[in-house]
Amino acid sequence: MADLKEGRLISVEVLAKAGLARKTVQVKPRRAFFRQGDVADCIYYLESGRAKLTVVSNQGKEATIALLSPGDFIGEEAIASTAGLRMASATAIGSCTALKIERAEMIRAMREDQGFSEMFLKFLLARSMRTQADLIDQLFNSSEKRLARILLLMAEFGQPDENETLIPKITQETLAEMIGTTRSRVSFFMNRFRKLGFIEYNGGIRIHKSLLNVILHD
């Protein structure tokens, strides 16, 4: 996790050096950065807080497709060759602070600043790989393993000596949407994880590294 945090700090420095015209925005819990169907005219860089991406089908069914953490960009579709519409909604889970960057400014910085362009390309590649991993997870793993994986990803495990990490409170409904199962199944698995000592509830959710056993066990 140290490398991940270091990369995010570097990206903040690159943002400053790129000379982007941007402004800081505060988004309250459950308020939207943007909604599905809005014009994709800007991009956000999340400095603090957590957010989620959700989509709504024509039948009105909503699904959470990603959770976002500090260091993530939100709404990168805005830099497409032709500005289109948002394909998902981005909503703050807790209080968020973000840099709002207009589309034209983002494109200019990518063309003129190689360091910034390389940093953003790495972010896009990492998100693409994460999307592929999520798809493989949905296709081949059980809902219990999918839940364990998403909890570990939220905890951002990485250091060999890091045995536990506290993540913000998240509803079982949101977790169920993300792994494609029901809230009752999530409740069943969470209770099992707690009884086995893999997680703890105390305001947020404390994730122990032993939760990896769920993913590694066949």
Arithmetic mean of pLDDT, 52-69: 86
Does the 2-138 domain belong in CATH 2.40.170.20? no
Arithmetic mean of pLDDT, 174-197: 91
- Tell me the C-alpha distance between 46 and 49, whole Å: 7
Residue 210, both tokens: 């032993």
Residue with tokens 């364990």: 148
Indicate the average pLDDT of the chain.
83
Spatial neighbors of 48 by CB under 8 A, at least 6 apart, are 70, 95, 96, 97
The CATH code belonging to domain 142-216 is: 1.10.10.10
Say how many CA atoms lie within 13 Å of 101 toward its Cβ: 26
Q: Please write the tens of the pLDDT for every residue from 101-155.
A: 999 999 988 888 888 888 898 888 888 888 888 878 777 888 999 899 888 888 8
Q: Helix 114-140 and helix 103-112: axis angle, to 10°? A: 110
Q: Please write the tens of the pLDDT for every residue from 189-207.
A: 999 999 999 999 876 788 9
Spatial neighbors of 74 by CB under 8 A, at least 6 apart, are 33, 43, 44, 45, 46, 51, 53, 68, 90, 98
Arithmetic mean of pLDDT, 94-102: 92
Residue ranges of the domains in the chain? 2-138, 142-216
**Looking at residue 168, what DSSP letter applies?**
-
38 contacts 86 by C-beta, under 8 angstroms: yes
- This prediction has a pTM of 0.75
Taking residue 155's Cβ as centre, other Cβ atoms within 10 Å add up to: 21
